[in-house]
Amino acid sequence: MTPISPRSLAIALAVGILSGAHTAIWGMYKDAIHEGFSVRRFARSIVVGASVAVAIHVALGLSVHTAGALLVLFGLAYAAERGIVETWKTFVREEDQSKYTIPMQFSVHRVPVTARRIRLAAGAGYVGIVTACLVAIAHAGRGSVGGATTMKIAFVGLTVGSIIAFGGAWKDAPTEGFDVRKFFRSPCLTVVFALLLSLLTDSYLQIAVAAIGYERATAETYKTFFFPSKPRGKFSGKPIRFPAMLVWRRYFIPAYVAIWAAIIAAGTMALRDTTSTRRAVQAGSNHTTGALP
């Protein structure tokens, strides 16, 4: 546990703002040409991201004083913001679904469920399943000899990636068909990120949740900026109603690139610090062994 101070709260707040801004930019970049730019919608992810980052820092007492700790907090805030917003949009929000090709509201066989009580019950079940998985992951390494292993960490990444994949398939497959490559993309990414995050934290729970955050950031960056002319599935086949946004959205790209640059720079620093620490520990171990009679 790290003592909470005004400085640590300010740092956590800044990390949350960056994670929320990252989400807000790719969301706006794809959607604004179809539904226009809304300050309220754009700010939503930033506000939620900032709030959950501070809450996570306070609740878990996470350090914010190393590059590795900041990377973990960024991933946790990203995943928490995505989980909160997407759960709200899917199970709680009331919105006309006719503007979407793929309904954003909880649906069964492409038919949105209009009964609010049924949606809330389904949402409660969904949250319960995800929570149960995360609780199981949090206890996965406790009491085991030798601590975390590559196999355990990979399984953690595979588990959370499968949750993302099944959720995406439930929503998209009835309209777009089942795509094997798309389905396995999330589990593959979360396994990779889980293994990388294991260099920064020993907490299975933090590894799992942060891996979700980085998977979302990577997958959405790929879909949004590598295929800018391809509309998001929910607007597939829909006309561009706000063509001016094709120009205005470009002004947000430098900020988006800057956030990625900061993540990569922090990752480089964290890897260097981890390598130095391991070398120091190994050198101390060798010195102690050599001193024995």
| Alpha-carbon gap, residue 223 to 232, rounded angstroms | 8
Residue found under tokens 């292993």: 149
pTM: 0.90
Question: pLDDT tens digit string along 199-254?
Answer: 999 899 999 999 999 999 999 999 999 888 777 778 888 889 999 999 999 999 99
**DSSP secondary structure letter of residue 65:** S
Closest CA to 122 of 132, 107, 111: 107
Share of the chain above pLDDT 90, in %: 63
Cβ pair 197, 70 in contact under 8 A:
no
Check residues 231 and 12 and name the one with the higher pLDDT. Answer: 12
Tokens coding 253: 């790209």
Mean of all residue pLDDT scores within the chain: 89
Q: How far apart are CA 235 and CA 200, in angstroms?
A: 38
Token digits for 8?
Answer: 């640590």
Residues of the chain above pLDDT 70, percent: 91
The band of 293, judged by pLDDT with boundaries at 50, 70 and 90, is: very low
What pLDDT was estimated at residue 155? Answer: 92
Indicate the domain borders of the chain.
6-291
pLDDT bracket for residue 281 (50, 70, 90): low
pLDDT tens digits, residue range 104-136? 888 888 888 989 999 999 999 999 999 998 999
CA 169 to chain centre: 18
Residue 145, pLDDT > 50, answer no
Q: Please list, in sequence order, all residues whose beta carbon lies within 8 angstroms of the beta carbon of residue 288, skipping any fewer than 6 positions away.
A: none
| Pairwise CA distance, residues 184 & 147, whole Å | 28
Length of the chain: 293
Distance CA 53, CA 73 (A): 7
